[in-house]
């Protein structure tokens, strides 16, 4: 990719610079749309995991009150705790991250030779903006990768939560069965 200094030194075609800027804005838009999609999924799954964990904790509390069934409460408490961990992973999706933006600082435009420039100055500005979008796009995709990893971790923890209930129940059953005379 050309550097800003190389762009400054060359005659830039206005139509090509417009197209380069248009394409880079589309690519940046894709990254920002992906961010929204990941965050929407995390929002829905966060709510579901919190609801599931509250139900499991509530049922564990109900079982714990009855001395005959109190040992079964542990299995539901464990599963609820796993779902809380999954919800925490979804909450991490919303940590602030660096993303690009479509606009540019007014200071880029409000300089002598640019604001009063000719078509060549406009063509260069479009090329500069496309150049700056490359960095913004790279940062946005890197941030999306982190958010996606956190989303996938939360989903895998949910699978573990679903598996933990029958496993803990079986463990409690077989341990109590083995202890009986």
The residues, ordered by sequence, that sit 6+ positions from 1 with a Cβ below 8 Å of its Cβ are 131, 134
What pLDDT score was predicted for residue 54?
A: 97
Would you give the end-to-end CA distance of the chain in angstroms? 77
Q: Which of 118-122, 147-151, 153-157 has the lowest mean pLDDT?
A: 118-122
Residues 166-178 have pLDDT tens digits of: 999 999 888 865 5
* Prediction pTM value: 0.81
How far apart are the C-alpha atoms of 2 and 139, rounded to whole Å?
19
Distances from the Cα of 162 to the Cα of 34, 40, 69, 158, 173, angstroms: 28, 22, 21, 6, 18
How far apart are the C-alpha atoms of 176 and 29, rounded to whole Å?
58
DSSP structural state of residue 53: H
How far apart are the C-alpha atoms of 172 and 168, rounded to whole Å?
6
Residues 110-121 have pLDDT tens digits of: 778 778 878 888
Return the SS3 of 11.
coil
Mean pLDDT of 87-110: 87
How far apart are the C-alpha atoms of 136 and 17, rounded to whole Å?
18
Q: Is the pLDDT of residue 179 over 70?
A: no
Q: Is the pLDDT of residue 10 over 90?
A: no
Residues 41-76 have pLDDT tens digits of: 999 999 999 999 999 999 999 999 998 888 899 999
């Amino acid at each position: 990719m050309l550097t800003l200094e190389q762009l400054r030194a060359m005659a830039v075609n206005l139509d090509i610079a417009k197209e380069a800027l248009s394409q880079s804005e589309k690519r940046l838009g894709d990254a920002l749309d992906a961010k929204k999609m990941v965050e929407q999924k995390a929002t829905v799954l966060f709510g579901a995991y919190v609801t599931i964990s509250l139900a499991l904790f509530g049922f564990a509390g109900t079982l714990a009150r009855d001395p005959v069934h109190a040992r079964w409460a542990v299995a539901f408490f464990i599963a609820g705790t796993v779902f809380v961990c999954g919800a925490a992973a979804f909450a991490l999706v919303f940590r602030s991250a660096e993303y690009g933006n479509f606009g540019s600082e007014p200071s880029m435009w409000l300089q002598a030779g640019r604001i009063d420039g000719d078509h060549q100055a406009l063509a260069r500005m479009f090329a500069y903006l496309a150049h700056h979008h490359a960095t913004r796009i790279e940062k946005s995709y890197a941030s999306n990768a982190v958010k996606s990893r956190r989303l996938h971790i939360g989903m895998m923890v949910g699978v573990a939560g679903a598996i933990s209930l029958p496993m803990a129940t079986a463990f409690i059953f077989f341990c109590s069965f083995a202890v009986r005379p």
